[in-house]
Structure 1
Amino acid sequence: MNIRTKTRIAITAALSVVFLLYLSGILLPKSLYAVDLAHKNSLPSPAHLFGTDWLGRDMFFRTLKGLHISITIGMFASCVSSVIALVLGTAAAVFGRKADYAVLFLVDLFQGVPHLIFLIFIALLAGRNFTGIMIAVAATHWPPLTRVIRAEIISLKNRQYILVARRLGVSHLMVAVRHLLPHIAPQFIINMILLFPHAILHEAGLTFLGMGIPPEQPAIGVILSESMRYITSGCWWLSVFPGISLLMIVLLFDQIGKNLQKMMQPETAQE
């Protein structure tokens, strides 16, 4: 099986999983993971696939809802961060030395501070809620892609057809839209896909530390954080199944991004 076939299969599987999880999160009634003290701390069984927690809440349906929240934040953050990187990277490469210095200053500022510190700071500033965590994750993942896009455009803008377009009076903006952006579109899409699992993990990590989504919402970070209190009492299923579910989503999209990168490289495209 060559890399193109593997990538098609992975993309189809990922889109199907994301669509089902997103749809189930919207349609899932709260009664399916409501408190039921008569069945608390139940082991995984056909009735409760992932078991129940100390309040009798069904962990399978809580995990589905948590993955819905994580996917929503991941999609928003990866799309917004990628667009920010595209705009800033293009501006740095096209609009002269002053714009380049300003963008590189912002990139160095964000990359010079530990990523988690910026995440926590923006999450607290924007509010410890669903909107706040989306803003925090989206606002901190653009610097690496900005550097990549800037470097790609700088390597393109001195080519002959670009110089001819500039001499004919075509504006910087039109040159960027017509001649530069089509060349960097594949790199942009690949990096946006690779940003998605990072955004999900950072959202779960922030929530796990108590800096993200509030405890009343069944996010994966909330589930994992709460389950830590009960692992020593033998309730292993409270953390194992939600953690594995999150890991599978992350690894699936990470693999898609890596396969697409291989397809873009001439030496590995035909494997």
Structure 2
Amino acid sequence: MNTQTSPATLPGLCARLRKRYRQMTGFKALFGLGMVAILLLMGLFSPLLAPHAPNSQDLMSAMRPPDWTGPHVLGTDHLGRDILSRIIYGSRVSLVIAIAVAVFASLLGVFLGVVGGYFGGRIDAAVQKVTEIFWSFPPLMLAIAIVAFIGQGLVIVVIALTAQRWIPYCRVTRAETMALRDREFILSARSLGASSRFIILHHILPNVMLSIIVMTSFAMANAIIAEASLSFLGLGVPPHIPTWGGMLSDSRAYISSAWWMALFPGLAIFLTVLGLNLLGDALRNQFDPKLKSH
């Protein structure tokens, strides 16, 4: 019996694989957009969505397990604070830090990458030296050092997390700018008297914007994980502000007796990061011509 696939069935097999690939890409995009929408809604409408005040303590109700029909759906922590309310309010910190770090890191990294890649020479060498210096430090260790030296605070955390996360933007935009600066349309614009500023703003940046958009979703996911790590270590925002990492830190001593204190903040971090990564992967599949051709 001949078990080999006949040539006539190969186009049909390829068509089915392409259809399955598109369906998977669509699922990634929908799941990622859904998680981003949920994060935005929780962050913007926390006072309306939270059933209790996030820091309201009730020692008589401490460490109650989840009760789907009671006043504390996801249970309470060791101080009687409602976990669901703290998760909803904690999304504010994750949202603000993720957006702020992505914005500032992209602005700094794209500026240095485009300037170094376009002008080259000593300017590019100086940018690369600065990049190598910051790249030599582990990201989390550098953030811990900055927070420990300067102090706690939301602005300090954003600065600490931005200190090294501009480097991927810089490297990618530098490589793309170096590939674009000798293209025909750039040479034509330069020969017609266009200034370097005009060329960068109207020809270089629009061509690297898609890469920046894709990288931003991954940068937001990394920022959320880094912020949770700092809060877990007690080096994030002040303790009175509820954060997912801070909730995980509070649950360490009660992990065997109150599993819900660690489970639900951990799930919030996991689902949010997973959604952002899937969204970034879907955007990359959509915009990368090499992937679209397959």
Normalising TM by the smaller chain, what interval? over 0.9
1:211 Cα deviation (Å)?
Answer: 1.6
Distance in structure 1 (CA, Å) of the matches to 2:236 and 2:33: 31
1:10 Cα deviation (Å)?
Answer: 3.3
Distance in structure 2 (CA, Å) of the matches to 1:190 and 1:237: 34
Amino acid at match of 1:84: L
Structure 1 residues 112 and 32: alpha-carbon distance in aligned structure 2, compared to 1, 3 A threshold:
closer
List runs of 5+ in structure 1 lacking aligned partners.
none
1:95 Cα deviation (Å)?
Answer: 2.5
1:19 Cα deviation (Å)?
Answer: 2.1
Whether 1:9 aligns to 2:51 is no
Whether 1:19 aligns to 2:34 is no
Of 264, 275, 294, which aligns to 1:252?
Answer: 275
Partner in structure 1 of residue 152 of structure 2:
128
1:7 Cα deviation (Å)?
Answer: 5.0
Kindly report the root-mean-square deviation, in angstroms, between the aligned alpha carbons of the 2 structures.
1.9
1:67 Cα deviation (Å)?
Answer: 1.8
Q: Which runs of 4+ in 1 moved over 4 A?
A: 26-30
The secondary structure found in structure 2 opposite 1:268 is helix
Contact 2:29 2:278 in 1 (8 A): no
Partner in structure 2 of residue 179 of structure 1:
203
Of 152, 167, 187, which aligns to 2:191?
Answer: 167
Q: What CA deviation, in whole Å up to 9, does each residue of 1:134-165 have, x standing for no partner?
A: 11112221112210110001001111111121
Q: What CA deviation, in whole Å up to 9, does each residue of 1:43-64 have, x standing for no partner?
A: 0002212110111111111111
Equivalent pairs counted in the alignment come to 270
Where does 1:1-271 land on structure 2 (aligned, <5 Å)? 2=22, 5-6=26-27, 8-25=29-46, 27=48, 28=50, 31=53, 33-46=55-68, 47=70, 48-232=72-256, 234-269=257-292
Q: What CA deviation, in whole Å up to 9, does each residue of 1:155-203 have, x standing for no partner?
A: 0111111112122221111111111111101001110111000000001
Amino acid at match of 1:17: I
Amino acid at match of 1:219: T
1:12 Cα deviation (Å)?
Answer: 3.7
Choose 115-124 or 86-95, whichever is displaced more: 115-124
Normalised to the residue count of structure 1, the TM-score between the two structures is 0.93
The secondary structure found in structure 2 opposite 1:52 is coil
Distance in structure 2 (CA, Å) of the matches to 1:245 and 1:92: 39
Contact 2:285 2:292 in 1 (8 A): yes
Amino acid at match of 1:252: G
Contact 2:36 2:272 in 1 (8 A): no
The secondary structure found in structure 2 opposite 1:31 is coil
List runs of 5+ in structure 2 lacking aligned partners.
1-19
State, as a whole percentage, how many aligned pairs show the same letter.
Answer: 31
Distance in structure 1 (CA, Å) of the matches to 2:47 and 2:247: 19
Distance in structure 2 (CA, Å) of the matches to 1:69 and 1:195: 16
